[in-house]
Structure 1
Amino acid sequence: MYCWGEAKLQELNILAKKDMCHNFDAVGLQKAVLTKAIRHLSIGDEVTVILWENGFASMAIRKQNGSRWKKISLTRNGNIVAVCVGATHAILLTKEGALLHWNSSDVSSVPKCLANVQNRQVVQIACGDNHSVALIKDGQVFTWGQNSNGQLGLGKGEPSTMSPQPLKSLAGIPLSQISAGGDHTFALSLSGAVFGWGKNSAGQLGLGDLSDRPEPVDVSCLSLKKTIFISCGVEHTAILVKDGVVFTCGSGRYGQLGHNSFRDELRPRLVAELWGSKVSQIACGRYHTLALVESQGTIYAFGCGEQGQLGSGQTDNQAVPLPVDIPQEQNSEGAIKRIFAGANQSFAVKKSGEDWVASHPNFDQIKMTWELNFEIADRWISSNSKSWTMTKRNITKILSSVSCVNGSFLEKSSDKHYSTSEYQCGLDLSMARQFFEKLSQSEKVLKEVESVVQQHLLPSLSPSPAGVEGLRVYLILPELLRVLLKQHRGTDLTVLLAEAILRLHPDSLRILESYWSRIGYSFFRTVVKNFHSVSKNSSQSSKKVAEMLQKLYAVNSLRHSRLNDSHFHIKEINNFLFELELMARQEYFNIFFWGESSKAMQIFAKFYTEVIQYLTAFPCIFDMEAKQKVFQLNVTSNSVQDRLTGIIPQTNHNTLRVQRQTLLKDTFEYLQRNIHDFHMPLKVKFVEENGIDDGGISQEFFRLLSKALISEDCNLLLEIFEESELVWFMSDECKSVDVYMDIGTIFGMALYNQCLVNIPFPSALFKKLLGERPTLRDLEELSPCQARCLKALLDYEDEELELLEQDFRVKGQDLIPNGGEVFVTKGNRKKFVDLYVDFVFNKSMARQFEAFAEGFGRACPEQTWRMFSPDELRMLICGEAKYEWEDLRKVAKYERCESSDLLILNFWRVLFELSKEDQLKFLSFIYGTDRIPIGGLAKRDMRIVRLNMDNPDEYFPLANACYGVLQLPNYSSVDILRDKLTHAINYCDVFGMT
């Protein structure tokens, strides 16, 4: 062992009598040939402790005159595993995990047990000048001592205490090391996250400022640096990362940062002079720093040298790392393996032969907290009746600790877990899956695990973990639920997990959602399946689970490999919707036809509305059929509420009277005249026609209105894109936007009354209504030509872009300030494309869309349709254009005839043989529109009635568009049926006439 600095080995009085010392006066070093190997050595102002590899320790305290040290014999049966000293106190850690404390003010000179941690297994200790830190096997951190600068991390205003206190703010973070300096403290996580707190007068916390921190704070600038060790001086900090690079921060008054200056550093800065040398160990004294490059056998020292602690033979301070001049002796064996620094002293230990025994190649005091692994799983499931009590105790210890769970199943291949961030969880979830599958081999083990997690682990979860590693538990537990739910257990645990996730602070929840969006397909599917499987229960907790599914559904849309929407649908809810619909129909009848508006009706209306609001908050749980049913119930809810509160007139419908010849003019006049009656069923009356509207006439009205709005007479309102045959708003700023509000109102009325509108807007319109931004893909749908040009622009080389001379202007308008002076280059072309798309869908028609959206919302309340996706909303309003005619035959019902009758066979033969144009006319004839609802023709109701009459060949077919009824005379031949049907669908344009 080599020693240099303030005191000589003889003065320290810590060696055995047989240990031989040799002085190297030229450089101020001493060499001691020891009779037994050293495990650890810790030096303070008033006390020095040396721990031998056999578990015994020697302690020396400075005498009052300060020149000599008094040796104290410690008889602890060789069970000491770690030692650490502060300025005037010492902590010893026993093999059993107990702590012994000694203070210079203690006249007994015998270390005493610390009561508060007696029943806990301590694995690490660290001392500042006047405070101490302990890491427990279950991941908890305890601090005690002075708290003048917040070095205990207990929070603002907390007093000093000699009783160890739990550091709750770090709960859940799996730690690998604790370290303490003068009045500041650090904790290092398993994946390299660094947390600091306490005094920061010189920037020793590395946070970029000089403010003290009374609670642990993430040193974010060290994220992803793969930090593996931290050493602290009085006012400076040294950080070692896995690649052998050293960072320092804090006070540079004596050059102890090694940056060739005496300035303070407020953030960790790389020690450039050590770059290229793979440092394996670091150690800080009060104002100096040591770094060991084991591969070279070289120790570098920098900082304060007044007491000779730099080993250079000089007493100057040095601001750059310089090698310690350890003499090269003849016949010297081994290399430097350990360095120690403390106060104004430095030590180095050389390994010789097999004499050196250490539990860790770099810092032997470091021991890990518990973790879940296959070895533990095998031990648990193989336990017998004699060992079961111990097994249960171990299960409780480990699985009640969030830190232990979060420190398990790390992705250690290629050190991937060191990349843990907001975007990478650092877990190998396949290991977690295998672990819990192994546990499932023992029913009693799995039952005990479930009980401990439910009773101890979940209640201890913090809504705001100190770091991202604290969120791993939410990814691990679904793998436990996976095996539990397979055995029809774990329902309560799943609900409790949902509640814990929903309690998370928004920032923590956002990070968890980021993890969900990136984990493997099978693991994300497991998370969804867990909550989906318990969502079928009609319990009070179902709302929490439904809320979880909705969040997972939103995450699913961000994933590269997405789950099908059916994974989120709850089929069982359809029965509930059916019952609710029956209730609503009865109450609707009571209110609107009997005029009942008693308190009981109001109570029902309130209940009904609350149920609908609850359901619409979680649209992901519905398939499209269920969504449509909820929409219908929601519309009814609005009607009931408005009727009871007197918002609308005491009538049961709105009547719109129009003439076919002036349909558009009459409609606009109606919309401008009536602004408060859209939340009632619409009844359309064509002037001088006999039809009664039970839905079919309204549908015919919207069909004709659609044709009128995209006719040549209205081509100044909507622009038709020839290539796609889609329409978009005209961008003329001079036009009044009132007409666009009317068009939006028409769309809203159609949706509210569940009619179809055939105005071919692109998906972008429905995205905008739902608050989503259109993309280049949407422009490709609207204008393939423009999209092709923009895509080509993204692939052009520099020369082609120069020839293009495209600036940031479109149709005479700047996309950016002074856009005509800025040309598109390779560096800004993506920005140009994004701005171009934004111009087409947003900037050029902002006023028009705003008016349209306002009209749409006033005709159909937003809460009724927000649950639909853009594509669903589009199909709900505009219908589909996929015609599977065989589906219509499958759903058809027959009255006064059979499907095998010749008349019916002839009808289907004729319909299938019609041209596509005539087939669409047939749909308009029987339904009032040639558009079909979501789900295709299979969702249409069709009833064919045979008319048995004299001279049937003289009559035309009849249709009731309100109910999808076709009345067919008993024609004598297929040819006559063809002629009569073709005539009917081409010339019957007036209701009440054939």
Structure 2
Amino acid sequence: MFMYCWGAKCHGQLGLDDRTAGTSDTDTDEPDSNKGDLVSTPLEVRFFRRRDVCAVACGLRHSVFLLKDGTVYTCGSNDKGQLGHEMHGRIPGQVKALETCVIRHVACGEAFTVVTAENGTVLSWGDDSCGQCGCGSEDREPKRTPRFLKRLSMHHVVQVACGGAHCVALTKGGRLFVWGDNTYGQLGLGHTSVKYVEKPTEITSLHGLPVMRVAGGGAHTFVVSVSGTVFGWGRNHCGQLGVSDTKDRSQPTLLKSLRTQKVKFIACGKNHTAALTADGGVFTFGAAADRQLGHSSSSNEINPRKVFELMGSEVTQIACGRCHTLAFIPKTGRVLSLGLLSHQQSTTRPAYRRSMSTPINISGPWAEGASTQNNLPNETPKHHKSTEQSPSEQNRKKLKEFQSNVDDEHGVLELESDLNEEVSIPEVVSAGEDSAEEMETDDIANHEVDTDFGRLRRGLRTRTTGETQDETKEERRVREIFSGGDHCFLAATFAKASEDVVDHREIPIDNHIATIDAVFMDTLEAASSTESLSEPVMSSIEEVFSSAACLNASFLKTNDEHFGSSRQNHGMDLDAAREQFRRLAGKEAVVRYVSI
């Protein structure tokens, strides 16, 4: 697994070491005010080179990393205790208070963090000035260590999303709970009379709606049903709710214009929203001052509008930061950027920085296809390999000869002036940072390259990569993109790896509400052969049969016929429901328990 990053780094939120500013060479016209604060081209976060990161969440000035084994690392600003530890914030540190928990999901607000454990419990820490930690505390002081949300202890939470200072959680039983700041009605409780809600409170107006996704923006909230119905609420001064006006909403409001678009996923920025459809289309709406909507305009959009520049491409992932949007197209292997990061962090060319109103390609050491759909500008010049030994290859040979004389403590080798000449390179090699614990096993030279101009940088580093020489040549592919605040992350794997690329249109089984499916029926059939039902089976039965949302999600018409459901089109396969209940009727133990 390889983790790459770009964007704001002034608070250490990228997890990079302080030893490198992270910007390109001085002759790239990068403003002095940006040097040291911005990473303008993707760099590798070497701390995670030998750690399997499965998810990343970004706050305004901090980041949270979830490993496959359930451990959590954080970095960045810790002014409100949002890191959950007191270690140096510029290098990822483990949240050791979570060592007894197996964490499966992470989320961030502006300055607080929320995680869900394998057993469905929820923990939070950080800024609690608006009750966003959900602990029920009235002191509003920052919570510097993780705390359980007792109000949710009786529920198995499968999803949680954070806004700037509020949260929304979805339980396995299909119930929605919210807490935190309610200034603009972002909790969806139908009022703003209570400004802060310190404990998780259920949204009763959506009872029976089988929710598939939850999302939080600066001060607005969205949910998407299994049939693609979209409801939004909260602040709407820029049109970020997409309901044809700029009035705030304190209760869930249907986005009628997206009803037939088969929406699968929603991502929210501070004041804008992006929706991903089943066919890979992207709709954006809300604030556009930083061109984050991708509509070649800085005018706000109060209605969902399809991103014209992405039409013809099948997008499978989207992510939003404060004032930017990312999109991933697997067919071409390209990551596209819209908005603030497009003209500040993703390129060092002044022409693009001044006015980039359409999506641009974020180039990095991952494989990209030959397709040039939409004629999007590619920021990294492509150089053809030559059969002759190139100057850069000669430099690498020299570097290898000098390796035995490298200062192991600092891992830096100063070369003669002939290595500082501008040379054309046959491939892009990403620069990056190490953690102190990894520097002791240095064995491979890593060439820092200005990816915009193709120059070898001075002070070539020989810190470890943890790879063999064959592995450094192996193609990498994008697995998943993450964004928040003013920074971004990208997880990549070897192209030949068996690990699947993430598709935001598909929902992981662990994040889904309970339904009567084949697995559920098999479990009941096996359990009904005994005289008494086990506790887990009884819990599953209660969860499904006590929830209209779970039942509604259980018998949907196939082939996407349930999309666009309404009062006139319920979208349910009644024949399938009849057949499943007929099977259940023959299970005496189940019928007896349900009838109690």
Q: Does 1:192 align with 2:228?
A: yes
**Distance verdict in 2 for CA 1:16–1:114, change over 3 Å:** farther
**Equivalent runs, 1:110-149 vs 2, <5 Å:** 110-149=145-184
SS of structure 1 residue aligned to 2:544 = helix
User: In the alignment, which residue of structure 1 is the partner of 2:583?
Assistant: 438
Q: Is the CA contact (8 Å cut-off) linking 2:233 and 2:251 kept in structure 1?
A: yes
User: In the alignment, which residue of structure 1 is the partner of 2:124?
Assistant: 101
Q: Is the CA contact (8 Å cut-off) linking 1:171 and 1:403 kept in structure 2?
A: yes
Q: Is the CA contact (8 Å cut-off) linking 2:285 and 2:300 kept in structure 1?
A: yes
Q: Is the CA contact (8 Å cut-off) linking 2:162 and 2:168 kept in structure 1?
A: yes
**Equivalent runs, 1:949-988 vs 2, <5 Å:** none
Q: Does 1:325 align with 2:363?
A: yes
Between the aligned partners of 1:192 and 1:444, the Cα distance in structure 2 is 36
SS of structure 2 residue aligned to 1:162 = strand
**Distance verdict in 2 for CA 1:30–1:417, change over 3 Å:** same
Q: Give the AA of the match of 2:340.
A: C
User: In the alignment, which residue of structure 1 is the partner of 2:7?
Assistant: 5
User: In the alignment, which residue of structure 2 is the partner of 1:336?
Assistant: 478
Larger deviation, residues 204-213 vs 434-443: 434-443
**Distance verdict in 2 for CA 1:388–1:50, change over 3 Å:** closer
**Equivalent runs, 1:624-663 vs 2, <5 Å:** none
**Equivalent runs, 1:492-531 vs 2, <5 Å:** none
Q: Deviations over 1:52-107 (max 9, x none)?
A: 12211101241559996475431334611111101111101111111111114656
Q: Does 1:294 align with 2:294?
A: no
Q: Does 1:376 align with 2:523?
A: no
Between the aligned partners of 2:536 and 2:71, the Cα distance in structure 1 is 30
Q: Deviations over 1:669-728 (max 9, x none)?
A: xxxxxxxxxxxxxxxxxxxxxxxxxxxxxxxxxxxxxxxxxxxxxxxxxxxxxxxxxxxx
**Distance verdict in 2 for CA 1:360–1:387, change over 3 Å:** farther
Q: Does 1:31 align with 2:44?
A: yes
User: In the alignment, which residue of structure 1 is the partner of 2:572?
Assistant: 427
**Equivalent runs, 1:719-738 vs 2, <5 Å:** none
Q: Deviations over 1:271-319 (max 9, x none)?
A: 0000001111100000001110011100111111388344565544532
Q: Does 1:73 align with 2:74?
A: no
Q: Is the CA contact (8 Å cut-off) linking 1:254 and 1:318 kept in structure 2?
A: no
By how many angstroms is 1:361 displaced? 3.7
Between the aligned partners of 1:146 and 1:177, the Cα distance in structure 2 is 21
Q: Is the CA contact (8 Å cut-off) linking 1:81 and 1:95 kept in structure 2?
A: yes
User: In the alignment, which residue of structure 1 is the partner of 2:114?
Assistant: 91
Between the aligned partners of 2:345 and 2:589, the Cα distance in structure 1 is 60
**Distance verdict in 2 for CA 1:70–1:297, change over 3 Å:** closer
Q: Give the AA of the match of 1:32.
A: V
Higher relative contact order (CA 8 A, sep 6+): 2
User: In the alignment, which residue of structure 2 is the partner of 1:269?
Assistant: 305
**Distance verdict in 2 for CA 1:229–1:123, change over 3 Å:** same
Counterpart among 545, 552, 574 of residue 406 in structure 1: 552
Q: Give the AA of the match of 1:112.
A: R
Q: Deviations over 1:851-899 (max 9, x none)?
A: xxxxxxxxxxxxxxxxxxxxxxxxxxxxxxxxxxxxxxxxxxxxxxxxx
By how many angstroms is 1:152 displaced? 0.4
**Distance verdict in 2 for CA 1:88–1:169, change over 3 Å:** same
Counterpart among 32, 35, 42 of residue 57 in structure 2: 42
Counterpart among 294, 317, 334 of residue 258 in structure 1: 294
Q: Does 1:392 align with 2:538?
A: yes
Q: Deviations over 1:618-669 (max 9, x none)?
A: xxxxxxxxxxxxxxxxxxxxxxxxxxxxxxxxxxxxxxxxxxxxxxxxxxxx
Q: Give the AA of the match of 1:395.
A: I
Q: Does 1:54 align with 2:69?
A: yes
**Distance verdict in 2 for CA 1:139–1:202, change over 3 Å:** same
Q: Is the CA contact (8 Å cut-off) linking 1:21 and 1:30 kept in structure 2?
A: no
**Distance verdict in 2 for CA 1:440–1:286, change over 3 Å:** same
SS of structure 1 residue aligned to 2:563 = helix
Say what the alpha-carbon RMSD is for the aligned residues. 2.9
Counterpart among 486, 490, 494 of residue 352 in structure 1: 494
Q: Is the CA contact (8 Å cut-off) linking 1:409 and 1:429 kept in structure 2?
A: yes
Between the aligned partners of 1:103 and 1:137, the Cα distance in structure 2 is 26
TM norm structure 1: 0.43
Q: Deviations over 1:546-580 (max 9, x none)?
A: xxxxxxxxxxxxxxxxxxxxxxxxxxxxxxxxxxx
**Equivalent runs, 1:471-510 vs 2, <5 Å:** none
Q: How many residues align?
A: 447
SS of structure 1 residue aligned to 2:164 = coil
User: In the alignment, which residue of structure 2 is the partner of 1:458?
Assistant: none
By how many angstroms is 1:210 displaced? 0.6
Percent identity reads: 31
Q: Deviations over 1:91-129 (max 9, x none)?
A: 011111111111146566211111110121000010000
Q: Is the CA contact (8 Å cut-off) linking 2:127 and 2:143 kept in structure 1?
A: no
By how many angstroms is 1:332 displaced? 4.2
By how many angstroms is 1:352 displaced? 1.6
Between the aligned partners of 1:256 and 1:35, the Cα distance in structure 2 is 34
Q: Give the AA of the match of 1:44.
A: G
Larger strand percent? 2
Q: Does 1:231 align with 2:254?
A: no
User: In the alignment, which residue of structure 2 is the partner of 1:175?
Assistant: 211
Q: Is the CA contact (8 Å cut-off) linking 1:255 and 1:262 kept in structure 2?
A: yes
SS of structure 2 residue aligned to 1:12 = coil
Q: Deviations over 1:726-756 (max 9, x none)?
A: xxxxxxxxxxxxxxxxxxxxxxxxxxxxxxx
Q: Is the CA contact (8 Å cut-off) linking 2:477 and 2:495 kept in structure 1?
A: no
Q: Give the AA of the match of 2:217.
A: G
SS of structure 2 residue aligned to 1:379 = helix
User: In the alignment, which residue of structure 1 is the partner of 2:186?
Assistant: 151
Q: Give the AA of the match of 1:12.
A: Q
Between the aligned partners of 1:16 and 1:401, the Cα distance in structure 2 is 49
Between the aligned partners of 2:355 and 2:221, the Cα distance in structure 1 is 26
**Distance verdict in 2 for CA 1:354–1:97, change over 3 Å:** farther
Between the aligned partners of 1:421 and 1:108, the Cα distance in structure 2 is 44
> For structure 1, which runs of at least 5 residues remain unmatched after alignment?
452-994
Larger deviation, residues 348-357 vs 191-200: 348-357
Q: Is the CA contact (8 Å cut-off) linking 1:410 and 1:428 kept in structure 2?
A: yes
SS of structure 1 residue aligned to 2:198 = strand
Q: Is the CA contact (8 Å cut-off) linking 1:192 and 1:223 kept in structure 2?
A: yes
Between the aligned partners of 2:143 and 2:248, the Cα distance in structure 1 is 36
**Equivalent runs, 1:837-848 vs 2, <5 Å:** none
Q: Give the AA of the match of 1:325.
A: S
Between the aligned partners of 1:358 and 1:132, the Cα distance in structure 2 is 29
Larger helix percent? 1
SS of structure 1 residue aligned to 2:560 = helix
**Distance verdict in 2 for CA 1:107–1:167, change over 3 Å:** closer
